[in-house]
Amino acid sequence: MNMKTAFVGKGGSGKTTLSSLFVRHLATTGSPVVAVDADINQHLGPALGLSDTEARRLPAMGDHLGLIKDYLRGSNPRIASAETMIKTTPPGEGSRLLRVREDNPVYEACARPVELDGDTVRLMATGSFTEADLGVACYHSKTGAVELCLNHLVDGRDEYVVVDMTAGSDSFASGMFTRFDITFLVAEPTRKGTSVYRQYKEYARDFGIDLKVVGNKVQGQDDIDFLKDEVGDDLLLTFGHSDWVRAMEKGRPPRFERLEDENRRALRTLQETVDASYARRDWERYTEQMVHFHLKNAQSWGNERTGADLAAQVDPAFVLREAETATA
């Protein structure tokens, strides 16, 4: 199966923790994994066991936006220059696509291998966010680099892309929230936790988003009942407090196989849910949605910002889809 998975939720809910546990779980299955840290608080590296020094040395995708754009636009005649390529510019004929397993200049610049119990995964990180990134400065947004990569990614069989991300207004405006086969909304059993769910659900409604709630830090039946009352059938499963996670936070990560049985079971269910979403994947809809958001962004700020008519970047005949054989 080949899947793009996002973990979103309120600050502190456990997005990074559950993303990292899921990545660790996938690594034990031997499937290729690209983990992407697009969260405001850049913690995925340490959660995957990197030391502070190693985490600091991770390249920031935001610093390589020029390279990413130039590589992806390839020889696409509709995209005259990297300067006119915005985060929503869709691929078309001549564009270069990204594959999970290949080596390419984007990974070379932006991805680093992380060794886990089981296998090595690729880690990419947006880099720290500044005030400007959190505002309406769409042009320079850090997550734009991630969005461009997702829009040019043709993930093949048995490959996983896991994104730890913030459910901010930026991802709704740019359409980034529509770039996933499945979205796990991490919620603690609190009213604040579930209000983020309701907001997300509202945005997601018109776009056929597969949204599941993953309860976290759940302590008993009352917590589970609360989540069920608040989110109904969208509640997929819950994680309890984990001593394994606590030990990792203390810088003493036990081997992954020592993770509590119930939490391991929950990770397997996450994978089954991700795998099952493959049947619902629709490349045409995926491409249409990126065009929809590109036209919206072109009109609201992109055209003015670049001085070009960005609607002309859309290649009407192009549909992003899986390649049977990987070619460069």
Q: Which is nearer to ligand ATP, 259 or 290 (CB)?
A: 259
Count of chain residues binding ligand ATP (CB under 6 A): 19
CA distance 249 to 60: 23
Among 158, 135, 121, smallest CA distance to 23 is for 121
Nearest distance from C-beta of residue 47 to Mg ion, angstroms: 8
15-29 and 261-276 helices cross at what angle (nearest 10)? 80
* Token pair of 72 as six digits: 């992806």
Kindly list the residues in this chain that would bind Mg ion in the complex (CB under 5 A).
15-16, 39, 41, 43
* Token pair of 54 as six digits: 């190693």
Q: Which is nearer to ligand ATP, 17 or 151 (CB)?
A: 17
Q: Which is nearer to Mg ion, 28 or 41 (CB)?
A: 41
The entry of ligand ATP, Mg ion, none that residue 12 binds, CB within 5 to 8 Å by partner kind: ligand ATP
Nearest distance from C-beta of residue 17 to Mg ion, angstroms: 8
What part of residues 12-41 is at the interface with ligand ATP (CB under 6 A)? 12-17, 39, 41
Binding-site member from 43, 152, 179, 212 for ligand ATP (CB under 6 A): 43
Give, in order, the Cα–Cα distances in Å from 308 to each of 12, 51, 110: 40, 44, 28
- Type of residue numbered 277: S
Non-local CB neighbours of 174 within 8 Å, separated by 6+ positions: 87, 88, 138, 141, 143, 144, 147, 293, 297
Nearest residue by C-beta to Mg ion?
A: 16
**CB count, 10 Å around CB of 96?**
17
Contact region with ligand ATP (CB under 6 A), list: 89-97, 237-245, 281-289, 314-322: 237-245
What part of residues 180-219 is at the interface with ligand ATP (CB under 6 A)? 216-217
Distance of CA 312 to the CA centre of its chain: 28
The entry of ligand ATP, Mg ion, none that residue 239 binds, CB within 5 to 8 Å by partner kind: ligand ATP
Query: In the complex, which residues of this chain contact ligand ATP (CB under 6 A)?
Result: 9, 11-17, 39, 41, 43, 216-217, 239, 241-242, 245-246, 249
